[in-house]
Chain A
Amino acid sequence: QVQLQQSGAELVKPGTSVKLSCKASGYTFTSNHMNWIKQTTGQGLEWIGIINPGSGGTSYNVKFKGKATLTVDKSSSTAFMQLSSLTPEDSAVYYCARSNNYYYVMDAWGQGASVTVSS
């Protein structure tokens, strides 16, 4: 079955960067686009961006341009998201989620990775 296994919780200092991973299994990694989503209590769910694992092509929510960088490693079926210049407002749970190829929907989600930005 489709599984997206994310890296663990991170506690990081303001001004630094963090790189989250999302290892896919149970399907052909390059066949589906991968999304990243931010969830906070205050702002709810926000879509960050999407990457085509086959081509490496990306598209970002304007709000997260310059904040998030999406990449993949096809050899390990892993997607990555780097968050830079971290501030306390970046503290959230971050999810990776696979796009369905036939409908405009994210049909499988990772378990989430908590990022806490604190000095």
Chain B
Amino acid sequence: DIQMTQSPASLSASLGETVTIECLASEDIYSNLAWYQQKPGKSPQLLIYAANRLQDGVPSRFSGSGSGTQYSLKISGMQPEDEGDYFCLQGSKFPPWTFGGGTKLELK
């Protein structure tokens, strides 16, 4: 199975700060990487797919990049509503889909 190592596990950002979350795959996943946001008690919401494609309706301050084994999610200007958990998902080698361990993002 492909292992997804996500970092950091938690971070705290100030209003307007740029935030970066990373996922490292155990092998090349050919940009088959998605990012999700999850609020407490809610289901995950898709933000980015295919490494850098923004899901419809997602604010443009969210962006994704990367290739091969290294991928990142950037939030350009932290907003209060961006608090939550973020995780990556690889769909390259399937089954199984595998997820990153998650990042808890808080507003400082």
A-side residues, CB < 8 A to B, are 35, 44-47, 49-50, 59-62, 95, 97, 100, 103-112
A45, A61, A103: the one within 8 Å of B49 (CB): A103
What are some 5 contacts across the A-B interface (CB < 8 A)? A35-B97, A45-B99, A103-B53, A104-B92, A107-B49
> With contacts A47-B97, A47-B99, A50-B95 known, is A105 near B34, CB below 8 A?
yes
Interface of A is mostly: strand
Counting chain A CB atoms within 10 Å of each CB, which of B49, B97, B99 scores highest? B97
Scan residues 70-108 of chain B and give those whose CB is less than 8 A from a CB of chain A.
87, 89-92, 94-99, 101-102
How long is the Cα–Cα vector from A27 to B55 in the complex, in angstroms?
18
A44, A59, A100: the one within 8 Å of B95 (CB): A59
User: A107–B43 contact, CB under 8 A?
Assistant: no
User: B89–A105 contact, CB under 8 A?
Assistant: yes
* Distance (whole angstroms) from the CB of B91 to the closest CB of chain A: 3
Q: Which residue of B has the minimal Cβ distance to A111?
A: B43
Q: Which residue of B has the minimal Cβ distance to A63?
A: B96
Please report the total number of B residues contacting A with Cβ < 8 Å. Answer: 24
Q: A44-B87, A109-B45, A112-B43 are known; give 14 further A-B pairs, CB within 8 A.
A: A46-B99, A47-B98, A49-B95, A59-B95, A60-B95, A95-B43, A100-B49, A103-B91, A104-B34, A104-B90, A105-B49, A107-B49, A107-B55, A110-B43
B42, B46, B102: the one within 8 Å of A106 (CB): B46
User: A47–B46 contact, CB under 8 A?
Assistant: no
